[in-house]
Amino acid sequence: MPAAVEARRALIDHDHPELSVRRQCELLDLPRSTCYYQPATETADNLMLMRMIDEQYLRTPFFGSRKLAKVLASRGRAVSRKRIQRLMRLMGLQALAPRRNLSRPAPGHRVFPYLLRNVDITHVDQVWSTDITYVPLRGGFVYLTAIIDWYSRCVLTWRLSNRLDGEFCVEALEEALADGRPEIFNTDQGSQFTSAEFTSRLLDRAVAVSMDGRGRALDNAFIERLWRTVKYEEIYLKDYAAVDELKEGLTRYFLFYNHERPHQSLDYQTPFGVYDSGRRRHRVREERTRSERCLSVTVNSRRKPKQPEKREGTAADRK
């Protein structure tokens, strides 16, 4: 469980006189890389290019490496297409376009069908979804994942990682499932979400798994809008230098986003206000249904069994 992982991380003593950090991680069953939690390193020039690519990608996610090279050249940054391709792979970005192999699952992992075509979103906990985005720092970068409720736009959980593996995605999922359960969970076909470690946690809780069709740019539009909002309202404005500062800033921002920021599509209500009221209404309906069932069972149990009707015998029977 995520809480257990955090508790084990807190037990590590980097200045222990006898046990090395490696040995402590082995004893605590933790990957050693998670203890350091440092962002990946790149040259200052590459970090600046990645920041420019990320900003342009938010505006035009359908631009590929060719068009991005042209855009950067028009801004005085003439770089080769191969360099842009390498940086986009490092950032986990890919142009949204109807073509083959847009999102490749890990070999042998199961891919689920897309379940949300022509589906009306009418209540909270009907659909959750998740994604990963690149977050620039002044001296590096990290990756951010979040889980969002489609109806209320409420951010249920989020995590940061300096690696594009699936561990931090699973931690975020377990935290969200500890407090609720959706009817459908939607992701893309990335290896982090097609892995058995991720999908089994949903299937074990009887959650229907939905995955974006290849080349469909709008299947996960809700969380793509969230990334744009978070970056323009928080990350780009603050220009964080370290992961700890970013984590504190995002903690404050997601509290503001959920509890204070009015959302136009919600009639200027806050995401958490809509989510919480929706859950309370659902609990009231469940309680009413349960009470009606109990009352029905009680009434039926008290009802006297029907006695067979007495038949008047005929004169022949009486003889």
Q: What is the distance between the alpha carbons of residues 261 and 256, in angstroms, rounded to a whole number?
A: 6
Q: What is the pLDDT of residue 147?
A: 97
Tell me which residues of the chain have a pLDDT lower than 70: 1-6, 32-41, 97-108, 213-219, 286, 290-292, 295-319
Query: What's the gap between Cα 112 and its chain centre?
Result: 17
- For 81-135, what is each residue's pLDDT tens digit? 999 999 999 998 888 765 444 345 555 677 899 898 888 999 999 999 999 999 9
> Contact at 8 Å (CB) between 112 and 196?
no
Provide the pLDDT for residue 253: 97
- The residue count of the chain comes to 319
- Residues facing 184 on adjacent strands: 127, 208
Which burial class, exposed, middle or buried, applies to 233 when counting CB atoms under 10 A from its CB (0-12, 13-18, 19+)? middle
Please, which residues bridge with residue 51 across strands? none
Question: What order do you get walking across the sheet with 208-211 strand by strand?
Answer: 155-161, 140-149, 127-137, 184-187, 208-211
- pLDDT given at position 247: 94
Give the angle subtended at the CA of 28 by the CAs of 23 and 29, to the nearest 5°: 95
Per-residue confidence (pLDDT) for residue 217, from 0 to 100? 52
Phi/psi region, residue 215 (left: phi>0; alpha: psi -120 to 50; beta: rest), is: left
Global pTM exceeds 0.85: no
Per CATH, the number for 127-266 is 3.30.420.10
DSSP labels, 253-313: HHHHHHHT--BGGGTTB-HHHHHHHHHHHHHHHHHHHHHHHHHHHHHHHHSPPPPPPPPPP
Listed residue (57, 53, 65, 31) closest to 165, CA to CA: 31
Query: What are the domain boundaries of the chain?
Result: 2-36, 47-91, 127-266
pLDDT of residue 101: 43
